[in-house]
Every structure is written in structure tokens, then in C-alpha cells.
Structure 1
């Protein structure tokens, strides 16, 4: 039986096997089942005239890789947010960060209709920053705003406001269809070129997250303890927030809003590996990627042969988990 000290090593050691398994499941199963020999031939002897080969290489592989990456990005973002705020309800979706990204993309579509993909990604990152600043500003000045439940309420209200504002702007300027495409989780329409373009941004976000992981462990003990140990808490928060903004912004730019991954996975990871963020960050990335990849596969069978939006699948799991956390932990901070 693995001990708490060996669990992170086990998770990271099994990661390649789990990732390959998720990709295989994603490639093999869907509205059209494809046998393993066809998958092998698509990789070894790709035939542009073969419809199954086209589906595998241009639809299912990018979709599987996208689900793994986005799940990892959101889980890492959630872990960082929970650690630096000591708020067990913090996550990109609940704190309004994903809605901020989508709001900025809406403005970009209206003001810069000929925007390149890079400009869309940049807009998404700016929107993430705006949402974070807005939530933190309101939380600081409202009664009980800095408590976990208080910040979750403020984040939800902020996200709802930004989402409603986006819908109003989109309707007025008649870009509702385009905005809806960005808002709704659309792993099934993930563009391979967009994934390639997002990777350099993601590398920066992940490197920042890993480099801040030791500092987040100390910060999660409490601001006074962290300051007493000589840590520059403001610098740590700024850099960790930059990582969250990059990873969340990339996720929204790639596939729209996907809720609850950043809430569920960090809690599961802490339960498995303990409170050291040097292990939590990479393990959350692995578990988040595998979780969203499996949710994507499950979404194809819930209403077969039609696909269920992956946001519905994550919400079915996430909403009860969210309510459980509130019931179990009340309004206090974790740690």
C-alpha cells in the first residue's frame, strides 16, 4: 500500500500510461467507433483519402490532447488559487476568471473583428487579469469578502455579471453566434493549430507554477508565518496569479468555459499527496488532464449517439462536490 510520501511518485510514474490510455479511449470511441488496427494504420500509413484516418488525425487526436492539456491547466490554476488565498472554494470558474476571459474575447470580436488567433489569446489573458482584480477589489471592501464563501459568492456574482454583459454586447452587435462558439466548451471543434500556438504560453504558465510551488506551500500556512519566514508574499501572489491568468486564459481560448475541474482536482490531489505544493502542482496537472480526458470520453455516451457538452459532465460531478465542501468546512479558511 503506497504511503503519503510515495503516492506522488506513483502518480507521476503512472502518468505516461494513464495519458496514453486516455488518448486511446478518446480515439477509439465516439459516435463512430474505430478499431485499433485502423488507428495503427493512421499513424504508420496515413491515407488522406481514408475518412477514418482523417477523423483520427484531425479530430480525435487534437481533441484528446486538448482535453489533457486544458484539464491540467485548470487543475494547476485551481491548486495555486486555493494555496495562495487559503480558500478551499477558489477555482477559475467559481472566482469569475473564466468569465473574464470570455468577456474579453467578446469585446475583441466586436472591436477587432479581424483579430488573429494570437490576439484572441492575448484578449483572453487580459480578461482573466481583469476578473481577478475585480473579484479581489470587491472582496477586500465588502463585509466577510475575504472568507471562502464570501469570495465564492463575489466570484460567482462577478462571473454572472461579466457573462450577462458579454451576452448583451454580443446581441447588440449581432455576434451572438460567434460568442456562443467561444463560450461553450467545444473540445470536439478544437483546432490543432490553436493548440500549437497555445503551447508556448502554457509552458510559461507551468514553469511559473512549478517555480512558485515551494513558496505557495509556505504561503498556505498563513500570511503572518510566511512573512515571518522572510517570504515576499506580494511577489509570490503576483507571480502565482500570473500563472493562473495565463493557464486559465489559454484554456478559455482553446475550448471555452469548463467548470469545476479547478475546484475538484486540487482537493483530491491534496488528499492523496499531502500539503506540499511541490508535489501538488505536478500531480494536480496529471490528475486534471486525465480527469477531463475521461469526462470527454464519457460525454460521448451519456446521450449516445449524440454528444453531451463536457461542461454538463463536469458540473454533474462538480456541483455536489461544491455543496459537500460548503457543508463539511463551513465558511472558514483552510489550512
Structure 2
């Protein structure tokens, strides 16, 4: 099990990420809004990512950053962040743009992050703070967002039930997965609502799903569902921390980005199907298509993106799915995921 993609590897600022540093107010890295529909197929573990952000709560310029403490003397975090939970911060300009961390605590002028962001930002770099999605914001507080793909059907929501019968949402953690389901009332022990499979009748509706995380939906129901999602569209890069093993990643961007254009090839281990890092993308059948960046091996293999089962065919045009798995063969690293809005010129 890998650690979470939120856990950026502490380092000096990425030299290859050359976005210009702009001083002053934080540019909004979610200029557009939109929606998407994600298919949930019966009888399988569906890997998916919710590729929209929740509204911006606070932004500004950093007056000082030291390990896990970010200071903005003009922030007024106490007022802006009061009543909000599952907070995360992102560096929004400069060479470290896209690096992010969960927030452990805050005062009126400081935030303390779970990860060390000092290597990704300098004084006067800008930041943005948002709440993470939760089980209730993605699936509905009453389990009423996913719908049967047949317009004539009245089926709404994931299959409710108990630990053994309900659809299960698998949310990755550093030690495994949190598993959440929608319970039906079973007096006197269980009330209806979102529950953690390991926490009895406690309300699990506020369980966070962070923007870099892919999740699984174990669909025990017999029909296909569409999960609709809407919100702010992230622009600019995303820096994801990966470690050896299987990393469950969110595509972050709600529009298609190809392997060739994603930037992943600049950061992953190149090789052959046995030695290279592997990108696993669900294909809707319960299985995965696997891709890697090949080293040239004349006369049979040219350099570039290949599939594990199609020889030397160029697969750079394969579109990243909303959620994907990155099987890291090497050690811990940061990868830079890039995209652009449709019709927007590359930087």
C-alpha cells in the first residue's frame, strides 16, 4: 500500500516546473465551472475520481513559510475558515504551483499543514484554501445523487443495506481503506445514513475525499448508475506525491488529458513492461488497461507510451480516466500532472 498522493515529498522547488512567479493576490486556479457523469458498473470495483473542486474559502500571499507553518499576516483565517472542516491548501503560483497539503490546524494568521510545503513556495508565493469533498457532497447526504442509467428507472442512489449487502465506497488512507456504505434502519442499533464499516452507527457522511485521491465504488447492485458531479474546474498543474507500490490517483482535471500531454512521462521510470512504472486505467469491464513509457529497444521498440499488450503501438493518445492507479517501481517522488481547458493554449 502506498501513502496518499497528498503527501508531497519534501524537496527543493521542482526545477522543471517553470510557471512564472506572480506576486500579490492569489490567482484563482479554478476559473471555470462544469459537471460530469461517471459510470458505476454492477458487479465490480469501480475506480473513479471526482474531478471538481469545492468553492474557494481563502487565498492570499505568503509572508513566511517554514516547514509546516505558513504565515499570512493579512489572512484572518479565524473568520474565513470558521465552521469548515477537511481543509486543504494549495500553492497557486510559482515553480511549486500545484503542491498541496491537508491542514492540521490554523490561527488567525497561520496554518499548520500535515506536509512540509516549504520546498515548494517562497515568500509572496500565493496559496488557496478549500474544503475537501466528502461522502455526502459526492453521493448526497441522503444517498440521492447516483441515478440509474435508464431514464425510465426510478432507482436513486447506491444500494443501501448493511455491511454485507450494501454498495461500498472505498477511500484510500495511508494504512489501507476507509469503507463507507449507506445503512438502512435496523433498530435498535442502526439508524439510516452513511456509516463506516468499522465504526458502528456513527455518522460517516463527513468522511473526506481529497482532490488528489481516487476512490473505489464496490457495486453490489445489479444495475449501472451514473454519478453526477459539478463544481469548480482546476486549472494549472497538480503535484502528486507517489511512493513505491500502488498509488490511487485522481486525474484532478474534469476534461480528458492524454498520457502524452499529461506530463507524467517526464517523471515516471521508463523501461519495459516489467521494469517501468505502470499506469493502470479501468476499462469498464472490471479490468484495467496498463500503460508504460518505453525505452527504445531497436529494432522492435521505439521510445514512448506503450500498452502492456499491444507491442510497439504508440499509446500516447490514451486518455487518462477520472481515477487511475500508478504502480511505482522506483522510490518516492513527486510527479507533475498538467492539463489545460479545452481550447486553451499550452503554456
Same fold (TM over 0.5): no
Q: Pick the structure with more strand per residue.
A: 2
Q: Pick the structure with more helix per residue.
A: 1
If the TM-score is normalised by the length of the shorter chain, which range does it land in?
A: under 0.3
**Structure-2-length-normalised TM-score:** 0.24
Give the number of the structure with larger relative contact order, counting CA–CA contacts within 8 Å between residues 6 or more apart. Answer: 1
